[in-house]
Amino acid sequence: MSIDLLLTIAHHLTVFALVGLFAAEFALLRPGLSGPRIGQLARLDAAYGGFAGLVIAVGVLRVIFGAAGWEYYAGNHAFWGKMAALLVMGLLTIPPTLAIRRWRQAQRADAAFAPDSAAIASQRRFVHLQAGFLLLIPIFAAIMARG
């Protein structure tokens, strides 16, 4: 098995895991969030961040050691569009992650803590924007695959 194939498989598996974690977080971050769900959301968010790091690491390895080579990626506008969408997604994760951490700390201090609906709605807007940019990534990937 070639290194290119192994890196491609690893990249796809980490991306699918990332999307699954994103979907779980998207579903859990809703009005009525309280109790153990806050801890669950915090763990999902941490896993989401970890898998985002893995996606980037495996992607970098794929660019460096994959069959296409850096030159293919460097001159490919769809690749840079995909990277821009990923960067924007990453930036959009910061406010919800910080809010989730605050909520988790508050919940640890007071088991009855629940974020108010306005705070949840505010963070859901960021997650909805992330979803929009997430849709761009496979579009750019499909364009890349066709040269």
pLDDT digits (tens, 9 = 90+) for 98-147: 999 999 999 999 999 999 999 999 999 999 999 999 999 999 999 998 87
Give the type of residue at 30. Answer: R
Structure tokens at 37: 């769900």
Q: Which pTM value belongs to this model?
A: 0.91
Mean pLDDT score, 75-90 = 96
Task: Specify the number of domains making up the chain.
Answer: 1
Q: What is the pLDDT of residue 58?
A: 97
pLDDT digits (tens, 9 = 90+) for 1-47: 799 999 999 999 999 999 999 999 999 999 999 999 999 999 999 99
How many Å apart are CA 122 and CA 23, to the nearest integer? 18
Do the beta carbons of residue 138 and residue 44 sit within 8 Å? no
CATH number at residue 81: 1.20.120
Q: Which domain holds residue 25?
A: 3-145
CA–CA distances in Å: residue 103 to residues 16, 43, 111: 27, 12, 11
How many Å apart are CA 42 and CA 135, to the nearest integer? 24
Q: What is the pLDDT of residue 145?
A: 86
